[in-house]
A = this chain, B = another copy of it.
Amino acid sequence: METTAPVADAATTGLYAEVQLFYARQVHLLDTVQAEPFAATFAIDGVFEHSPDSPPARGREGIAEEVRGYNERRFAHDPVRRRHWFNMLDVREQPDGSVHTEFYALVATTRPGQPVPVIAPSCTVRDVLVREGGELRTLRRKVTQDHLSF
């Protein structure tokens, strides 16, 4: 079977933790709607496909605009705190130096004075990560919402 495969490379090289840290910071920017800094966590030619309702956003300007527009359209008159949660993160380094990841996501949305958040939708996410100046950047992200995946 897989018993001759190398032992968990991403774990031993620190890459696994580096990706976790990268996602934590990326998500904090998204959830505080810092559109430009969030977009800067994508590669210059990054592609962000986050919803079947929107065409993929392309490039940092396009991604920043998508994030700002999405938040304005949906939450301008419905103030919320949104928290993206990622989990069960698989990380696979590729021969070309890029990094493929696959993970689960949920969004906890809280409204003023209501302690119980709405936790939805459940998604799977696939990213291609690359390095720019040594730092991880998302080159492509594709989000699939479970309720639309049947």
Give residues of chain A (96-129) contacting chain B, Cβ–Cβ below 8 Å: 102-104, 106, 108, 110-122, 124
Selected contact of A17 from candidates B16, B27, B134, CB within 8 Å = B16
A6 → chain B, closest Cβ, in Å? 8
A112 touches B147 (CB 8 A): yes
Q: Contacts A84-B88, A90-B25 given; indicate if A16 touches B20 (C-beta within 8 A).
A: yes
CA distance A108 to B136 in the complex (A): 29
Q: Contacts A11-B18, A88-B23 given; indicate if A149 touches B81 (C-beta within 8 A).
A: yes
Interfacial chain B residues near A40, Cβ < 8 Å: 1-2
CA distance A28 to B124 in the complex (A): 10
B12 touches A12 (CB 8 A): no
B79 touches A135 (CB 8 A): no
User: How extensive is the interface on chain A, given as a class?
Assistant: 35 or more
B121 touches A116 (CB 8 A): yes
| A94 on interface, CB distance cutoff 8 Å | no
Q: List 25 A-B contacts (CB under 8 A).
A: A3-B132, A3-B134, A4-B133, A5-B135, A8-B18, A8-B21, A11-B15, A11-B16, A11-B17, A12-B18, A16-B17, A21-B90, A23-B88, A24-B90, A85-B87, A85-B104, A87-B87, A104-B108, A106-B117, A108-B146, A110-B147, A115-B147, A116-B118, A116-B120, A117-B147
CB-based closest 4 A-B pairs: A3-B133, A11-B17, A11-B18, A110-B146
